[in-house]
Chains A and B, each alone.
Chain A
Amino acid sequence: MSFLEALANFEFLAHALLGGLLASVACGIVGSLVVVRRIGYMAGGIAHAVLGGMGIAYYLGKPPMAGALISALVAAFLVSIVSRGAAEQEDTLISALWAVGMATGILFIAKTPGYNVDLMSYLFGNVLMISQQDLWFIVILDLAIIAITVLFYRQLLLVCFDPEFATIRGIAVGAIHTMLLCMVALTVVILIQIVGLILVIAMLTLPAASARLFSSSLAVMMLGATLLGAIITTLGLACSFTWDLPAGASTAILSGGVYLGAISVKKAWDSWIKPQ
């Protein structure tokens, strides 16, 4: 059975495809901001700290995604406090958040009585298990991210491009930075369901970094990254189905391949085609 036939026959596969496409929107928009603002490490810290919240929610018998959302936002605020108040120890403190958050999650999951959850599905995603309810949750997060971006596009652009000038022109740079980290938190919660928290950083940076090579403005970069993300998640799912591979890992490897390809095309373009 081919991938396309399977899509028509199996609802779970259609849900997985839709989940990937919806996630591409958040990952294109927020990923572009992460790349131009160079906060990939902060995004990684937030993504891994989320396991703490998921573990606690699981222990208390609450939905893990609610725990993920709360802990992602808490982690975003912690990171923004660190980057404002203790910039010189920023990488140390983010590393601590990264590791301690993850360890907390593992401890709570280990101490939860009864049938033990598949830890692997949190770490590496389980896109084939996405329910209709999960999809609606992703739609709502996507809409929140789009609304914030439309309203604050110019402020986000200026704060990423030249924070010092932004301060002088009266923009609340700290508040915009915190808002950006909260957008990262929302995107992390979406992407955990698609590729898992360890691979979040691949989807958050690689499509955007590829799109940047060919973009003249941040808005174009966001559109390009969304498009690339959609292609990558769809192909990732197709590879996973066709060759029986883990979907999250296939998607992450494909995004690495796309980035390498994009760099090669850009180099070839700059050295052979453009000079003529």
Chain B
Amino acid sequence: MSTPTITIENLSFSYPQLQVLKDINLTLHSDEFLGIVGPNGGGKSTLLKLILGLLEPDKGSIRVLGQTPKAARPMLGYVPQFATFDSKFPIRVKDTVLQGRFGTRKRQLFYTREDHLKTTEAMERTDILDLQDRPMTALSGGQRQRVLIARALACDPKLLLLDEPTANIDPYHGENIFGLLHRLHDEVSIVLISHDIGFITRCVTRVACLNHSLVCHATSPVENDLLQEIYGMPLSRVEHETDIGTGVHI
């Protein structure tokens, strides 16, 4: 077996006076698509920031692609939530996707031919090539999310990390995003955090539930009693059978 994509051992992390993550262990292999679910404040975004090296663990270790998170950054594609952005920012789609080319080589005074080729390729893969000259302000939520995914793909990442890619997107476009991710999974390993459990279980190979500690499950359905355990209150899951061609069935 090759080097695992992510190895996390006995990881703990606290913000001042608030423990967020406790004794996390996780091994992710290169062909996996991991969905991390859990309540708000359960530490999902914090775990993602630790994997990206934006935060340092208090205890335990993280290896990403066999290296420290900071050293692994050039090989990571990160898709943040668009909701946290200034939605009036004047920037075109293509210029946004080109930003993903930073960090792919040492000196970068200008964008090269290769940068433009890779950018076009990433926009083709996410089906937004026809939008490339549009300003971001003119796009719908689903289109913006595709632009951010294209930007993350532009550096040919080995691991794609997504933070709530379907937040603020209507269900139809949310399904389209998951269909896209399912196709991308053939080439890159994916970690996705979301509270959208219904979608997640359709395309991921493994589900992890995170509420300060982490519990992993095979791609079996997330049962109602498990939901209750994680969220700490009775919840029911609504079945909505749709076919997005994932090949993974509940």
Contact = CB atoms under 8 A, between A and B. Distances in A.
Contacts, number: 70
Nearest to B94: A217
Interface residues of B, number: 29
A70 interface: no
Interface residues of A, number: 25
Nearest to A152: B109
A217 B99 contact: no
B99 A169 contact: yes
Nearest to B53: A168
A5 interface: no
A167 interface: yes
Contacts of B57: none
Would you call the interface of chain A mostly helix, strand, loop, or mixed? helix
Contacts of A221: 90
Contacts of B86: 36, 38, 161
A213 to B, nearest CB: 9
Contacts of A158: 99, 102
A164 B90 contact: no
Interface in A146-186: 151, 154-155, 157-158, 160-162, 164-171
Contact of B90 (A166, A168, A170, A212): A212
Given A162-B85, A216-B90, A169 B54 contact: no
A170 B95 contact: no
18 contacts: A36-B90, A151-B109, A154-B102, A155-B102, A157-B95, A158-B99, A161-B85, A161-B96, A162-B80, A169-B73, A169-B102, A169-B103, A170-B74, A170-B102, A171-B102, A216-B135, A217-B91, A217-B135
Interface string A198-223: 00000000000000100111101100
A157 B88 CA distance: 14
A121 to B, nearest CB: 36
- A155, A171, A217: most-surrounded residue (chain B CB, <10 A): A217
